[in-house]
Structure 1
Amino acid sequence: MTTGKRLFRYAAIFKKTILLGLLMLSIAVAAELTGPFLAKKMIDTHILGIELPWYETAQRGDSVLYQGKWYTRQDHVSEGEKAGAQVRVLQVGRDYYFVGQPIAEDGQREVQNGKLTINSSSETAEYPAQRLTNSEVFAFFRPETKGLIMLAVACMGLLILASVFHYGQKFMLQKSANQVIQKLRVDVFAHIQRLPITYFDNLPAGKVVARVTNDTEAVRELFTKVLDQFFSSSIYLIGIFTALFLLDVRLASVCLLLLPIMVVWVILYRKYAAAFNHAIRSRLSDINAMINESIQGMSIIQAFRREKETKEEFNELNEEIFSYQKKLQRLNSITSFNLVQLLRNIAFILFIWYVGGASAGVGTLFTFGALYAFVDYLNRLFQPITQIVNQLALLEQARVAAERVFELLDEEGIEVDRGKASCYQGNVRFDNVSFAYQPNQYVLKQVSFEAWPGETVALVGHTGSGKSSIINLLFRFYDVNQGAVMIDGRNVMEMTKQQVRQHMGIVLQDPFLFTGTILSNVTLGDPSISRERAEKALRDVGADQLLRTLQNGFDEPVIEKGSTLSAGQRQLISFARALAFDPAILVLDEATANIDTETEGIIQQALEVVKKGRTTFIIAHRLSTIKNADQILVLDRGSIVERGRHEDLMAKRGKYFQMYQLQQGESASTGMALTSP
């Protein structure tokens, strides 16, 4: 499905609001475009209508008294009404003259010595003429005053009506646009929650953020500005062309040539602008990713004095964006206002040529009112064209941004199972499991072990031996390539990922805290975890000993990542979080690696409470912390090379023994260095 169709489907969700906005826009445009027709009637009928034939009649409401006789204009004399001699009132220069007889043919007028000379294409005629005073001229205009006032009031009313409906359509279209983007952002963010971990392995966080913020904002511009202008401009064009055809079919047909020119124009513009916009959006994502990375690693950048190099890297990306923006700006400059003005001037030249060349005198081809209305509509015609052209740049930016958003939505996600799964006992079995992050590069090779409910299993080994990969498979962050992972005798591949994780808890080496309070970081907004339960979990892990110094206690605000708290405090909150959720399987991923000795002692005491009745997996570099584990698995290059309790493995004097002795030797050396004078 094309990007346009998908955007249309989103818009269709709020079609009632959009259709109401378009209806109000149509009414506003109709009211606005009626104005020139009223102006035409005011000019032709009520102003220039004074030159229509006048007939001598009896006194009546719309008759004019001149030199003792009453005269009524031709368009006010009904059929069958008795009328006398015909007279005329003609304008010559700035003056009006009374001619007491009909004229044969109109043409170029000239007055000398009380004689009106009319030179037409076929003959020259002279008529006695009397110059009218201002009061006499006004007397002939007076019967039309009421009509002029009524039309002026109608024009004002239409303008007010158009303003009201313009406000309404603007409000409705903006409202629907914001609703569409709100829905789109919710869908994008919800989809991000369903994406597998592998997606985030290959895409920096800054680029994902750019899709949710920058790209959806560009799509919002599409609905709030571009489509608004396109809708209103299209309705304006329809209304203007309708009016032009009502005035003159031939001239309106010539003006229709503008439409194919616009279509070709838009196609060519989009062809070249799309490439530039793709490059710009891509570089913006790179900049977001780099900024995010720089902020996360600011302490490292400053510690190693890499500020200059980081700035140069940023400047390089920024320069690339600038170069593409210059190319796009050059394209916009060529194909925007200048081209519209060129077409506008051509249209007016053709119009002047047509009117001047096809008519012997003004008024034989067009009345002045029709001429005014046509020029007015011709002027108005280029306003929506200009608006459409000016929105082409935003249209392309929004289209490219929408492609990137839908590209994210098209990533295969994981269906969220909202059902409640019964708590399992916690029996975990890896049956001949092999796994590779990259094809044929196995990080786990035929791994088999079993953890019984309530047991503590420790995973040890050098970096890259496969410890974390076992945990990733247990949580189904990744799926096995060969073999099976079983929980209570059931293959995890037969369970949804939410069911697998529903009764698991994890404490990471670098715990992640969300913005909020200490308590909200324990409950994570789960309504089933009461305040009392969360506070008990904090006390059980000994957090009250380290957090009691805080001003607000457990309600102390936590900013992003808990940067105002110490490593020990963050780790204790993470332990309390795992305990509050009461998992059947608990994973401690090097949870004591970054903690001082005093805090580690507190946590070790709390662990005895946390582990009770749970299957616990511990990934640990400090082998001294796992002496009491029921089972220790020693991994090397993706395989389990030793297994057993601490005493058994020490007695074997194998790889575990060597690792333990090495750590003990380092500890002894460190202790001696600290106590030496």
Structure 2
Amino acid sequence: MNNQTGKRLFKYALHAKNTFILALVMLAIGVAAELAGPFLARAMIDDHMLAIEKPFYETASSSKETVSYDGRSFKRSDRFAPEEARGPEVRVLQVGRSFVLVEAAIPEVSGERSFKDGVLTLSHQGEVQEYPAVRLDSAGIFAFYKPEIPGILNLISWYMVFLAISILMEFGKTYWLQSSANKVIRKLRIDVYAHIQKLPVHFFDNLPAGKVVSRVTNDTEAVKDLFIAVLANFFSGIINMIGVYIALFILDVRLGLVCLFVVPILYAWIVLYRKFATKYNTIIRSRLSEINAIINESIQGMSIIRIFRRQKQTREEFENLNNDYMSHSNKMLNLNAFTSHNLVNVIRSLAFAVVLWYFGSAQLSGAGIISLGVLYAFVDVLGRLFQPMTGMVNQLAALDSSMVSAGRVFKLMEEPGEDVTDGSMPRYRGNVEFKDVSFAYKEDFVLKNISFEAKQGQTVALVGHTGSGKSSIINLLFRFYDPQKGTITIDGKPVKELPKQWIRQHMGIVLQDPYLFTGTIASNVSLGDERITRETIQKALDDVGATRILSHLPKGIDEPVVEKGSTLSAGERQLISFARALAFDPAILILDEATANIDTETEALIQSALEVLKRGRTTFIIAHRLSTIRSADQILVLHRGQIVESGTHEELLALGGRYYKMYRLQSGGADPAPSVAVASVHPAVNQG
């Protein structure tokens, strides 16, 4: 067991320590009540069933402990009061299936017995003794057993009481243990999900969503099994074994010492098992995550898979992963079969053989090391030792799988996250300045010495071919990443000195491929923010022209939206995303080719609304269709991470450089003219 993982699981268990402690107390009481059974059985055998072989004396008194036989009264020797008078001694001994009455004092009753022709013969260690005896009929036997019946019934009553306590404690233990486990897993899942929210954006660039989902669902569910099944069995097993060993030593110290060999065997067994199981389970959990990832990816890209007829290749990829998962699962099955509870049965049989050989043979030979009642109770208790041991062994697979899963969950939680700072900052004006900014995702710089200034209310357009650095500038502005060189300021304050959440609070973005959440149109605009009223939602939709476009929906802004808005057209999703950004009234608005998926008529509607909405806020536009940025206050032309040209639309056309060539290419090769209408610009070429 990984010590670090075990310590962290223990800390989580402390969140439900009260119910855990209650469950363990009930478990201990239940074990004690259950182990009372063999002691009651011992008392029943030694003090009542076999006790009639103790000496009896004739007595003149009469009570419920007195035996009435053949017109005389007898009482067992251990039931006489110290001052009570005793008459002649008699003995009742069992010979085979019969009982005989001997009217004589017998010093030693151990050894072999035989009865013939009214003579009882006792052989012990080579000595033979003979006594005249009378065979007892059923009435005579019952007469001597009758005083024992109340004691036997009393012990049976106590056994039923302890059985009821055991059943009640078992129910309470199971309920509270599972309740505690549910509390722990709830806390663990909340913490994992909260940590995912803190992880930097670049973390998700390298880890498929399916693997993250697997950590939060499958792995935490396996940890739940640890607290419910494994913890229950191991705690129950340990407490049971402790209770059993206490009972064994109470019954007979020598018997207890003989059975101590089970403990090191069990410990070595668990250590050896986990050495192999951990290796297999690590691969199994990893493959399960990969299976979830490929399923998630396939479902999201199902249309592409079918269009390009990739069903066979996708299925083969899935089958390869699934086969590898099955292969290692079978290895675990082989390991479990090899180390199953059958081995417990072997150890149990060995323990019984040793005990019965050493102590049972001595008892039968007449050595009389222990009483038959003790031997019976011991065998009963010893059987109970292997019940929890079997339960623990059967949970070894779940234990190791849970520990591996817990390790994966904690590994995710160890990923450095972004600190969440409470509070907020006043809405800033939105003056943005980049000073000699250079940035690299890994080793090669994708931005080199970028410098520009965007003043409040200005619109800055970023254009360039794919990979030129447009999106990287926006990523730095949102502080998804921080530059290696240079500084970025908002209203003169370096962004590194401001909490990321505060900066983003006054930013809005519309992506080329908008993302909608399950809910309604209204909830996708407000994102559940109580500050955004229905009036604000409706106004935002009106301002972007969405009201007319979405008027065909039966429930209006309360129309249900399924995951990713798949029931809406691309243009409708874009308009909702646009309204979302505007509803938050950002100081800085980023449009990442926001009108790419909107038809020309809708684009013209949005362009007219934008002229009003952009007032008072700084707007950054990542543009592929250069027709959408003709009115920008500043156009930055990027090439290989550098700003190669900057200026207004007219200035850049007059310059005749890279922007001129891009615009001419999108215009179908015609020479651009200032009077070119927006609608006449051909958007056929996407420059990335």
Normalised-by-shorter TM-score class: over 0.9
Moved more, 471-480 or 390-399: 390-399
- Counterpart in 2 of 1:2? 4
Maintained 8 Å contact 1:277/1:397: yes
Matched, 1:504 2:507: yes
Q: How does 1:568-587 map to 2 (within 5 A)?
A: 568-587=571-590
Distance 1:363 1:120 in 2: 9
Give the superposition deviation at 1:88. Answer: 1.2
Maintained 8 Å contact 1:518/1:554: yes
Distance 1:671 1:602 in 2: 18
1:601 to 590, 601, 604: 604
Q: How does 1:76-475 map to 2 (within 5 A)?
A: 76-106=79-109, 107-359=111-363, 361=365, 364-439=368-443, 441-475=444-478
TM-score, normalised by the number of residues in structure 2: 0.95
Maintained 8 Å contact 1:567/1:594: yes
Distance 1:78 1:192 in 2: 79
Maintained 8 Å contact 1:108/1:120: yes
Distance 1:256 1:499 in 2: 64
The residue matched to 2:74 in structure 1 has which SS? strand
Distance 2:296 2:489 in 1: 39
- Counterpart in 1 of 2:538? 535
Q: Percent identity?
A: 59
Distance 1:461 1:672 in 2: 15
Maintained 8 Å contact 2:627/2:681: no
Deviations 1:362-391 (A, max 9, x none): 681222211111111111111111111111
The residue matched to 1:529 in structure 2 has which SS? coil
- Counterpart in 2 of 1:638? 641
Maintained 8 Å contact 2:278/2:404: yes
Distance 2:374 2:615 in 1: 94
Question: Where does the alignment leave 5 or more consecutive residues of structure 1 unmatched?
Answer: none
Maintained 8 Å contact 1:593/1:620: no
Distance 1:598 1:576 in 2: 18
Distance 1:228 1:295 in 2: 39
Counterpart code for 1:217: E
1:20 to 19, 22, 26: 22
- Counterpart in 2 of 1:548? 551
Counterpart code for 2:349: N
The residue matched to 1:425 in structure 2 has which SS? coil
Instruction: Count how many residue pairs are aligned between Structure 1 and Structure 2.
Output: 672
- Counterpart in 2 of 1:31? 33
The residue matched to 2:436 in structure 1 has which SS? strand
Moved more, 323-332 or 359-368: 359-368
Counterpart code for 1:29: V
Maintained 8 Å contact 2:112/2:366: no
2:44 to 2, 27, 42: 42
Give the superposition deviation at 1:357. Answer: 4.3
Counterpart code for 2:200: P
Distance 2:221 2:367 in 1: 54
Maintained 8 Å contact 1:426/1:452: yes
- Counterpart in 2 of 1:54? 56
Deviations 1:25-77 (A, max 9, x none): 00000000011000110111111111111111122231011111111111211
**Structure 1 residues 363, 134: closer, same or farther in 2, change over 3 A?**
farther
Question: Please, what is the CA RMSD of the aligned residues?
Answer: 1.8
Matched, 1:629 2:632: yes
Deviations 1:522-566 (A, max 9, x none): 111111111221122112211111111111111111111010111
Give the superposition deviation at 1:154. Answer: 0.6
Maintained 8 Å contact 2:198/2:420: yes
The residue matched to 1:419 in structure 2 has which SS? coil
The residue matched to 1:385 in structure 2 has which SS? helix
**Structure 1 residues 314, 666: closer, same or farther in 2, change over 3 A?**
farther
Distance 2:370 2:682 in 1: 107
Distance 1:115 1:666 in 2: 133
The residue matched to 1:665 in structure 2 has which SS? coil
Maintained 8 Å contact 2:625/2:683: no
Deviations 1:436-472 (A, max 9, x none): 1112x11111111111111111111111111000000
Counterpart code for 1:34: A
Counterpart code for 2:536: R
Distance 1:356 1:96 in 2: 23
The residue matched to 2:412 in structure 1 has which SS? helix
**Structure 1 residues 609, 153: closer, same or farther in 2, change over 3 A?**
farther
Distance 1:81 1:619 in 2: 112
Give the superposition deviation at 1:333. Answer: 1.3
The residue matched to 2:668 in structure 1 has which SS? helix
Maintained 8 Å contact 1:558/1:564: yes
Matched, 1:11 2:13: yes
Counterpart code for 2:649: H
**Structure 1 residues 669, 600: closer, same or farther in 2, change over 3 A?**
closer
Maintained 8 Å contact 1:509/1:593: yes
The residue matched to 1:21 in structure 2 has which SS? helix
Distance 1:421 1:605 in 2: 31
Give the superposition deviation at 1:94. Answer: 2.1
The residue matched to 1:286 in structure 2 has which SS? helix
**Structure 1 residues 363, 179: closer, same or farther in 2, change over 3 A?**
farther
**Structure 1 residues 368, 122: closer, same or farther in 2, change over 3 A?**
same
Counterpart code for 2:453: E
Give the superposition deviation at 1:661. Answer: 1.1
Give the superposition deviation at 1:403. Answer: 1.0
The residue matched to 1:14 in structure 2 has which SS? helix
1:65 to 68, 90, 105: 68
Deviations 1:406-427 (A, max 9, x none): 1111111111112121110010
- Structure 1: 4+ residue segments shifted above 6 A: 666-673
Give the superposition deviation at 1:669. Answer: 11
Distance 2:579 2:495 in 1: 27
1:592 to 564, 572, 595: 595
Distance 2:418 2:93 in 1: 85
Counterpart code for 1:303: I
**Structure 1 residues 576, 670: closer, same or farther in 2, change over 3 A?**
closer
Counterpart code for 1:390: N
- Counterpart in 2 of 1:490? 493
- Counterpart in 1 of 2:676? none
Deviations 1:592-617 (A, max 9, x none): 11222222223223322331211111
Give the superposition deviation at 1:153. Answer: 0.9
Maintained 8 Å contact 1:56/1:86: yes
Counterpart code for 1:50: I
Moved more, 60-69 or 443-452: 60-69
**Structure 1 residues 360, 133: closer, same or farther in 2, change over 3 A?**
closer
Give the superposition deviation at 1:671. Answer: 8.0
Distance 1:672 1:3 in 2: 56
- Counterpart in 1 of 2:654? 651
Maintained 8 Å contact 1:423/1:503: yes
TM-score, normalised by the number of residues in structure 1: 0.97
Maintained 8 Å contact 1:513/1:561: yes
Moved more, 511-520 or 278-287: 278-287
Counterpart code for 1:445: K
Counterpart code for 1:529: I
Distance 1:192 1:507 in 2: 23
Deviations 1:225-264 (A, max 9, x none): 1111110000000000011111221221121111111111
